[in-house]
Amino acid sequence: MSNRNHNYAIVGTGALGGFYGARLQKAGLEVNFLLRSDYDRVKKHGLIIDSPEGDFTLPRVRAFHDVHKMPKCDVVIVALKTTQNHLLPKLLPPLLKDDGVVLVLQNGLNTEPEVAKIVGSERVVGGLCFLCSYKVSPGHICHLDYGTITLGEYAKNYQPIGITNRLHQIAIDFKRAHIPIKMSEDLLLSRWKKLVWNIPYNALSVILDARTDELMANPDTLILVEQIMREVVAGAKSCDRIIQDDFIQHMLEYTHKMKPYRTSMKIDYDESRPLEVEAILGNPMRAAQQAGIKLPQIGVLYRMLKFVDAQRQEAEKTRRLLGVQ
Amino acid sequence: MSNRNHNYAIVGTGALGGFYGARLQKAGLEVNFLLRSDYDRVKKHGLIIDSPEGDFTLPRVRAFHDVHKMPKCDVVIVALKTTQNHLLPKLLPPLLKDDGVVLVLQNGLNTEPEVAKIVGSERVVGGLCFLCSYKVSPGHICHLDYGTITLGEYAKNYQPIGITNRLHQIAIDFKRAHIPIKMSEDLLLSRWKKLVWNIPYNALSVILDARTDELMANPDTLILVEQIMREVVAGAKSCDRIIQDDFIQHMLEYTHKMKPYRTSMKIDYDESRPLEVEAILGNPMRAAQQAGIKLPQIGVLYRMLKFVDAQRQEAEKTRRLLGVQ
């Protein structure tokens, strides 16, 4: 990856990929958007971003619905939901320059090794997004709050290898687009730390149909959240990643102060989209299991979410069938 | 307790107490029914029982709304929901003959010791009901299926003391009323065995809004049910009660063959009644905890149900307030 004028591909132009991609294009970078259902609309009318940091419209964007028609890129951003990851073996190879990298901006654990199997470990970096946004309609994204990305290098089996030059290069592009960037020396540790928040709140918000403030206000779910967080910390430890005790307290206080928040999994659920159960709960659970550590509380959440997800997808299938007939 | 002509008090004339009490009266026994909200209706019109074993009406019953106006009885049946057990210290002493017994026909664990604190250990027996019935309207009960009661003697700390004469006496009365009776040599073991079914299905049916057949048809909830059953068996073991391994398989097969079933906790939930979370989950969990054994999966169910229950009761309070205004 050269030091200047990188071009970007956005694989998955939704609430996250669309937002970051639009910001990068607005900052003067070449961004190529891969779309599926929203292709026609975006090809014609571009992207609209509502944001407390300033609304803007991009009347023309480089929109594609076929990776083979796209230029090869320096940075290929994976912004699909992890439930679509079975598509990656077909999508990534045609998009990536020989010295390009894939930046995985997804939730949960173990997508980087999956991507590494496709493009090689040395061509993968990871990013954790703290972003609150949703798609209003095709090509129209509303950014609500936050936006920081934590970037981390990937090496085989999540070995920590510090901060590389190419990570700095990507950071420069994002900062140009006014996206706050943090750097992680240890991507796996960062992913586990994010799971400390993501596992309890995503799972409980869907299972109990609750916002974060409701989960924090009830004494029983408050205890449950904290207990689950402790189990995530135990999971991290099974992968030799130590999360300090005060981190849990910090996350709880942070959530207490947050505006009432609908988690990404709850938004997916409400929109009848498949839930990211495997990436956010299944993969961490199995990682711990392979190290001989059981996470029984997370196991309960996992099974419940699989049930809820299956019921929802079944209902959605029926709804579509009836809609078509 | 003498050998002949026992009189009965039914504390809590709902779907369970009303059904068994009506059957006992129909068999010629004296039954005194304690009622609260349904008192006026039942005083005037008696009880109506619909049942696949034969519908019947009792136009006149001994209905009371004040324990101090009731005769003292040989057998006082506690058929309240356990969520009402705070009322027992006031209700039981005026009702009980000096040589009478209290028969606890409630769900879950540790009601007998609570009752023993009020009337003395030597005056308590327990019963486990396998009954499927619901209240259609005040004084009108629909019996759907099953009905067997397993009777067991209570002694301090649930010591097993075998089958006593008074247990046989009660059994004779119930058999006269065509209620199938089993005898347990060990009440605590019987209670834990019932919990093997009750904990997973009651909890999951409410949390996941699901019938038993849906929980059995989905591979993830099937695994979850079995895992929770194993945890209940571990809880029993912590109280020195051994449940054989094949019992779980037996319960699963039994449930597979059952008609789709709405659990008692799900019925309470759907009717906006408080849930029996403490008796069915909290007490078993704490019993194991006192023996140094953690039941983490049941702990998750417990906290979730406490949340769901609190939310529901809050909504119900609001509904009533708005209804009154």
Among chain A residues, the shortest Cα distance to B308 is held by A208
In chain B, residues under CATH classification 1.10.1040.10 are 189-323
Residues of chain A positioned with their CB less than 8 A from the CB of B208: 207, 304, 307-308
Among chain A residues, the shortest Cα distance to B203 is held by A304
Mutate to test the interface with A, among B206, B232, B300 (most CBs of A within 10 A): B300
Task: Establish if B296 touches chain A: CB-CB under 8 angstroms.
Answer: yes
- Region A264-288: mean pLDDT is 97
Q: Distance (Å, rounded) from C-alpha A106 to C-alpha A112?
A: 9
- Homologous superfamily of domain range B7-185: NAD(P)-binding Rossmann-like Domain (3.40.50.720)
- Region B129-150: mean pLDDT is 95
Among chain A residues, the shortest Cα distance to B304 is held by A221
**Statement: residue B261 has pLDDT above 90:** no
Q: Distance (Å, rounded) from C-alpha B201 to C-alpha B207?
A: 10
Interchain pair B297, A301: CB under 8 A: no
Task: Establish if A223 touches chain B: CB-CB under 8 angstroms.
Answer: yes
The string of pLDDT tens digits covering residues A122-176 is 999 999 999 999 999 999 999 999 999 999 999 999 999 999 999 999 999 999 9
Q: CB atoms < 10 A from the CB of A185, how many? A: 12
Residue B321 confidence class, pLDDT cut points 50, 70, 90: confident
- As a whole number, the mean pLDDT across chain B is 96
Interchain pair B218, A307: CB under 8 A: yes
Task: Establish if B230 touches chain A: CB-CB under 8 angstroms.
Answer: no
**Per the structure block, which two tokens stand in for A126?**
């990871």
Alpha-carbon torsion, ordered B253, B259, B262, B264, to 10 deg: -70
Residue pointed to by tokens 């809880």: B235
**Per the structure block, which two tokens stand in for B167?**
């247990």
ipTM value: 0.94
- Region A285-300: mean pLDDT is 98
Backbone dihedral angles phi then psi of residue B254, each to the nearest 5 degrees: -55, -45
- Region A297-314: mean pLDDT is 97
The pLDDT of residue B324 is 57
- Region B250-261: mean pLDDT is 92
In chain A, residues under CATH classification 3.40.50.720 are 7-185
- Region B224-246: mean pLDDT is 97
Catalytic residue numbers of A, as ranges: 194
The string of pLDDT tens digits covering residues A238-258 is 999 999 989 999 999 999 998
DSSP state at residue B259: P
CB crowding A60-89: b at 16 or more within 10 Å, else e: ebbbbbebeebebbbbbbbbbbbbbbeebe
Alpha-carbon torsion, ordered B253, B257, B263, B266, to 10 deg: 100
Task: Establish if B306 touches chain A: CB-CB under 8 angstroms.
Answer: yes
Residue B323 confidence class, pLDDT cut points 50, 70, 90: confident
Task: Establish if B250 touches chain A: CB-CB under 8 angstroms.
Answer: no
Strands (E) in chain B, as ranges, are 7-11, 30-34, 47-50, 56-58, 62-64, 73-78, 96-104, 124-137, 140-153, 181-184
The pLDDT of residue B325 is 47
- As a whole number, the mean pLDDT across chain A is 96
B12 with B78: CB under 8 angstroms?
A: yes
The string of pLDDT tens digits covering residues B13-44 is 999 999 999 999 999 999 999 999 999 999 99
Among chain B residues, the shortest Cα distance to A215 is held by B307
The string of pLDDT tens digits covering residues B170-209 is 999 999 999 999 999 999 999 999 999 999 999 999 999 9
Task: Establish if B227 touches chain A: CB-CB under 8 angstroms.
Answer: yes
**Per the structure block, which two tokens stand in for B276?**
């029996």
B182 with B150: CB under 8 angstroms?
A: yes
The pLDDT of residue A260 is 85
Q: How distant is the alpha carbon of residue B291 from its chain centre?
A: 25
- CB pairs under 8 A, 24+ apart, for A1-7? A1/A74, A1/A75, A1/A97, A1/A99, A1/A100, A1/A101, A1/A166, A1/A169, A2/A74, A2/A99, A3/A169, A5/A30, A6/A73, A6/A74, A6/A75, A6/A169, A6/A170, A6/A173, A7/A31, A7/A32, A7/A71, A7/A73, A7/A74, A7/A75
Q: Distance (Å, rounded) from C-alpha A135 to C-alpha A140?
A: 6
**Percentage, residues of chain A above pLDDT 70:** 99
Answer yes or no: CATH 3.20.20.70 is held by domain A192-319: no
- Better pLDDT: A258 or B290: B290
Interchain pair B207, A304: CB under 8 A: yes
Record the pTM: 0.95
Cβ partners under 8 Å of residue B122, min gap 6? B155
Q: What is the assigned CATH class of domain B189-323?
A: mainly alpha
The string of pLDDT tens digits covering residues B56-73 is 999 999 999 999 999 999
CB crowding B243-260: b at 16 or more within 10 Å, else e: beeebbeebbeebeebee
- The nearest CA of chain A is from the CA of B297 a distance in Å of 6
> Which of A300, A102, A119, A99 shows the shortest CA–CA distance to B305?
A300
- Better pLDDT: A322 or B114: B114
Task: Establish if A172 touches chain B: CB-CB under 8 angstroms.
Answer: no
- Region A76-83: mean pLDDT is 98
**Statement: residue A324 has pLDDT above 60:** no
Active-site annotation holder among B194, B266, B294, B317: B194
- The nearest CA of chain B is from the CA of A101 a distance in Å of 37
